[in-house]
Amino acid sequence: MSTLSDRPENSVVGVPEPHESAALHVTGRALYTDDIATLRRDTLTAWPVQAPHAHAHIIALRTEPALVVPGVVRVLTAADVPGVNDGGIWNDEPLFPTEVMYFGQAVCWVLGETLEAARLGAAAVEVDYEVLPSLITVPEAIAAGSFQGAHRITRRGDVDAALATAPHVFTGEWEFSGQEHFYLETMASLAYYDEGGQMYVQAGTQHPSETQEIVAHVLGISSNAVTVQCVRMGGGFGGKEMQPHGLAAIAAIGATCTGRAVRLRLNRTQDLTMTGKRHGFHVAWTVGFDDNGRILGLKASLTADGGWSLDLSDPVLARALCHLDNAYWIPAIEAHGQVAKTNKTSQTAFRGFGGPQGIMVIEDILGRCAAPLGIDPALLRRRNFYAPGQTTPYGQPVRHAERMEAIWSQLLDKSEFAERSAQIEAFNAVNPHIKRGLAITPVKFGISFNVAAFNQAGALVLVYKDGSVLINHGGVEMGQGLHTKMIQVAATALGVPRASVRLAPTRTDKVPNTSATAASTGADLNGGAVKNACDQIRERMSVVAGGMLGANPTDVRFSQGKIHALGVHGQELTFADVAKVAYQQRVQLSAAGYYRTEGLHWDAEAWRGSPFKYFAYGAAAAEVEVDGFTGAYRTLRVDIVHDVGDSLSPIIDIGQIEGGFVQGAGWLTLEDLRWDTTDGPGRGRLLTQAASTYKLPSFSEMPEEFNVTLFEHAHEDGAIYGSKAVGEPPLMLAFSVREALRQAAARFGPAGRMTELASPATPEAVFWALTAAKQALATTAPGVDAPGAKRIPVLADS
């Protein structure tokens, strides 16, 4: 067992603790970026002038009419940029464009004394456009050859030979939608200069260091002249990993031009129409099975809708390709990936970061093919699980492959899967207009950034003379409970009560060169750095305590704020006592911690390596009920068994599993992004630009019974206190709901028929799926199955 994963007795980690800001959240006292901005009396407000075309040249920009609007102070244009006019990392995202690339893109920004003055000023700006042809859908981009980024291929074995000899071959082609982040706090920034000429930015960003770099690059100054702070965010989900940078830079340009603080907070419509989403994908595939339902070969092409700029589309596509296998052994595979360039918002990171899209492909294939193969979907999935010793298509050994089987067995038992399946069959037999479905799906999700350099973190830990502790780390809090876990890690490492530890806001002048809080790595990376800093301090204090106790420093033990030594009886010191003496002896009581994930290697060109530290496993079983007249449905029950290693904070982890599952169910069943694809004047406009038209999960979509179990005996050696990441993997457990809907819709038709289901599987989509099933039944003679069908056997072990 590594020292990083070794968990001492009386640990604060593993204890069910509430979120460190829970009381502030529920009482309204938690401060967010715009709350901080409104505390300053001299602050100007920025408002965008948005383009009404999906693709156009800007012929003329007249800002003079805005300047006569009362309260308008300035209109920011490209002429005001002191450095580089670009808010991205690939030099393809001009802050002030000459060519509009999507409907709603900001062409300039108005600064006003009040929000209303800025809004009216923006409405007064006059812009002349030359409208250009636009590409809105992925098929349009494919037909036009409009791509960006790299073309990637994952390959193993001879897939053509495998498909040529496979007894059962199926093909498919379809598109599935992206997803809007819809975080409660929209994009927000505050920028001003302090008395020393330092640019200070308070921003809702998942990547403060990159926000710092982009602001410095836009202002033409060095990074040490910019400080970025993030107190907390009201949700991020990946949407604030890249796209806050340019908005923070706009606020910083405004502060530079006016000498006053500038706040920029998008309203909900602006946030929806200006910021990126989860990538939708176009997929074509051919798959071959043997007579027992084992996959022999898979050939696929995946095209991601990248929108107008590259953003994070390349690594999103990479992770999709790396998760195309999910939990299944595919002996021969060839999958091509590319990113389409369309005239839409620049799609970006979203919880799962391409993993859900890759897993969607294989889960949809298995869901479609189970019936024509005549194999129960749960059994088909189980038969294809990885076995110990097997590797992924890109060559990484699948460690703990047996864990998937153990989780699956535990879930079948806990969910009473066999008994309920029989009950559902009986229910469906006597209810012609209402059908139920019960499905179980797995997840195997790799944890680490695909780019090895990002897998590092820093921390600063301070111990004061009274024994109190202040920690600062490079991760940001967006509601996921990272700060809570870091407090527990520090308290455990130093052997003090949780109440002795306080956490300071994330700032680039305290911990530099940090990675984004993303890829579910926040606790792994920052926890390692916090523990490293604490271990340094504890080692120094052990020498002091050993001297006080007359013991060898290696025999000194810290626990619950008390310090004793092995073999020394009747003597006990307090942590505060030792801290005070350490100060008097001129022993350093602060430390900068550092952590880097070991064992990672990845060759993106060869598409080989081990890009992930470990895999997180889980499974979910979901039961739904579908109305045959409308396609409306209810989720009756969900059971989950999920692997979080040795949990750092069980309440936080269970909350993340529940929240991730519901967000995944929203993507797969409700959240339907629609753009205007007509040739009219609104072409390219986002049609679902409010909560009234974009359906989000609510209490009514929650399962009536929701059971979450943390998989036990799951210690992860080499990770912070034996834990595993929890942020992203649970989202993909929601495939169980989609597959249950497929099974319920199929019950309206004949056995053995392939049931296709659109995504998101809205009530409308489910209605069309069950209508197709009914039509197939109407054309099938009584007592006869669909052509070529096999009867699905009772669920059995493989």
Q: Which among 42, 589, 504, 468 has a CA at the least distance from the CA of 229?
A: 504
Do the beta carbons of residue 768 and residue 631 sit within 8 Å? yes
Pair of tokens at residue 104: 């709603």
Do the beta carbons of residue 117 and residue 66 sit within 8 Å? no
**β partners of residue 110:** 47, 75
How far apart (Å, rounded) are the C-alpha atoms in residues 133 and 531? 55
Q: What are phi and psi of 732, to 5 degrees?
A: -80, -5
Q: Which among 528, 353, 552 has a CA at the least distance from the CA of 458?
A: 528
Q: Considering Cα of 444, then 445, then 450, then 455, what sign does the dihedral take? A: negative
- How far is the CA of 444 from the CAs of 329, 441, 448, 460, in angstroms? 12, 11, 13, 34
Instruction: Provide the 10 A C-beta neighbour count for residue 134.
Output: 21
How far apart (Å, rounded) are the C-alpha atoms in residues 133 and 679? 10
Rounded to 10 degrees, the C-alpha dihedral 193/195/196/197 comes to: 30
Do the beta carbons of residue 517 and residue 478 sit within 8 Å? yes
DSSP state at residue 173: E
How far apart (Å, rounded) are the C-alpha atoms in residues 105 and 124? 17
Q: Which one of the listed residues 210, 623, 728, 739 is annotated catalytic?
A: 728
Residues near 11 by beta carbon (within 8 Å), at least 6 away in sequence: 492, 721
With residues binned 3-state (H G I as helix, E B as strand, rest as coil), the percentages for the chain, rounded to 5, are 35, 25, 40
Helix (H, G, I), strand (E, B) or coil at 278: strand
* Element containing residue 573 per DSSP (H, E): strand 573-574
DSSP state at residue 770: H
Do the beta carbons of residue 304 and residue 350 sit within 8 Å? no
Per this entry, what is the length of the chain? 798
Do the beta carbons of residue 746 and residue 786 sit within 8 Å? no
Helix (H, G, I), strand (E, B) or coil at 372: helix
- The C-alpha angle 629, 768, 668, rounded to 5 degrees, equals 105
Q: Which among 400, 419, 432, 342 has a CA at the least distance from the CA of 627?
A: 432
Residues near 405 by beta carbon (within 8 Å), at least 6 away in sequence: 382, 385
Rounded to 10 degrees, the C-alpha dihedral 517/521/524/528 comes to: -40
- Tell me the CB-side half-sphere exposure of residue 667, using CA atoms within 13 A: 29
Residues near 279 by beta carbon (within 8 Å), at least 6 away in sequence: 178, 304, 305, 306, 313, 316, 317, 347, 350, 354, 357
How far apart (Å, rounded) are the C-alpha atoms in residues 428 and 487? 51
Buried b (16+ CB within 10 A) or exposed e, 207-230: bbbbbbbbbbbbbebebeebbbbb
How far apart (Å, rounded) are the C-alpha atoms in residues 451 and 467? 39
Rg of the chain's alpha carbons, rounded to an integer? Answer: 28
Is 728 considered catalytic here? Answer: yes
How far apart (Å, rounded) are the C-alpha atoms in residues 71 and 441? 57
- Which residues are identified as catalytic? 728
